[in-house]
Amino acid sequence: MVFSSTAFLFAFLPFVLIVVYPLRRAWQNAALLALSILFYVWGAGADVRFIFTVALVSWCLALVQRRLPKPWSSVVLAFSVLLVILPLLTVKYVPPMTALFDPAASAEVILPLGISFFTFHAISYLVDVARGQLPPERRIDQYFLYLFMFPHQIAGPIVRYGEIRTEIKARLRPSTDDVIYGLSRFSWGLAKKAVIADACGTVASAVWADAGTGQPMNFTTAWIGAIAFTTQIYFDFSGYSDMAIGLARVFGFHFPENFASPYRSASATEFWRRWHMTLSRWFRDYVYIPLGGNRHGVVRSYIALIITFALTSLWHGATVPYLIWGGLWSAALMVERVTGLRKTERLYPIRRITAALFIVFTWVAFRSPTMNEALGVWRGMVQPDFGWPTPSVMLTLTPLVIVCLVIGVLGFAIPGRSSQRFFDHLVLAGQENVLRRPRALVLGAVSLALGVIFSMWTSFSPFLYFQF
């Protein structure tokens, strides 16, 4: 069950609001936990056993490790992380590895819904407890609510327990502004997903279908496909994050932001400070810094950077295109460090254009199942053949799709100096970010109407990051 499905919009979400809001605050946690588990079982069925394993192991071993002296607590932490990550390793990486040695074996991977994000949440909790940044949670129901809370359990954002621990325990009733802002932002995210991302996805799918058959690709087709996927993945994933953050606000939780207009970046360093920010911070705090970060010289920092991006690539998938994608970004980050480009303000317009081209270019590898597709699209992007798109792609270029592609291109033209998100710019006023209620209500109503209409009109399209 996804947020853009009719089952969620017309059955599950209204039911949750009707059941949870009238309850006393002391009972709201229990209701949210029960409904969140129902949400997961509805979407994942028997795969819920993987998540219960992760939840139980991380909760129990966090209590144990804080009672032990330092050497033993470190051993328990390592053992805990291994147990928590084992289900993910088993279902995500064993099939591809088996297929390498046994050609008859299938390398197809069907992941238990949301297992990657559950794993990240549990590891962050275990490490934060081991570092003394958090006390171990003694109430299993409150810890389970943190892991199972339905807004973020499928595809993030990655929320650390310390960020919402107080809100879980206090359960203050959300203000009217919180509810209006949350519902409006949820609707805004739904429109981004159902209208823009899904429209661009039809074009990207047609282009990569041509690439999969080995059909030669001209400049026009390749660039339309690359821009279509660049637009799709941003509006799809940021739309989901908007929906998750908005739903959480409705129930009184403040999730961290996950995107900050990444396509207006002027460097690779800036891009990763704006794209999937909770994942970037997770790898920084739990991989890059423990490997030494930039505290032990240039060579050590480069090694830590390469390992971090290699793990980021492997998390997305154990395929060559994902490794190429991660390698390109780690190379760009190292070049910026060597040359000092990550800190300079010189040649800003040229750096914006270069960053935009690099972003579009690297998304090709991310989208491609194999290197054959990636190379096919890349060849088309660099050859001077400016013919018409292929017939299959032309069929997808409806007026709506063309408008959505233009919106995607305009995402690169947003002034880079602006610090406020576009949605917040529309509904908040002043330095205190006071909610403009009438504007938020109108924007939310229009976005909801568009999102619902397009969700029902088009065929089912799951969120891209559900596969991870």
CB of 161 closer than 8 Å to CB of 143: yes
Residues 6+ apart with CB under 8 A from 358: 268, 328, 332
For residues 60 and 83, give the distance between their C-alpha atoms in angstroms, rounded to a whole number. 12
Cα 437 from Cα 445, distance rounded (Å) = 12
Q: In the Cβ-directed half-sphere of 65, how many Cα atoms lie within 13 Å?
A: 28
Judge contact between 207 and 378, C-beta under 8 A: no
Tokens of 124: 């962050």
CB 217 within 8 A of CB 210: yes
CA triplet 237, 239, 243: central angle to 5 degrees? 115
The catalytic position among 121, 152, 316, 425 is 316
The one-character DSSP state at 467 is G
Distance of CA 388 to the CA centre of its chain: 34
In what helix (H) or strand (E) does residue 428 lie, and over which residues does it extend? Answer: strand 428-429
Nearest 5°: the CA angle 345, 349, 354 is 100
Q: Closest by alpha carbon to 6, among 440, 311, 466, 458?
A: 458
DSSP SS3 for 398: coil
Peptide linkage before 157 cis (omega within 30 of 0):
yes
Angle, vertex CA 284, rays to CA 280 and CA 287, nearest 5: 120
What residues form DSSP beta bridges with 434?
429
Beta bridge partners of 171: none
Determine whether 296 is an active site residue: no
Rounded Cα distance, 12 and 41, in Å:
13
Contacts within 8 Å (CB) and 24+ apart, 41-47: 42/1, 42/12, 43/1, 43/2, 43/113, 43/154, 44/112, 44/113, 44/114, 47/112, 47/113, 47/115
Residues acting as catalytic residues: 316
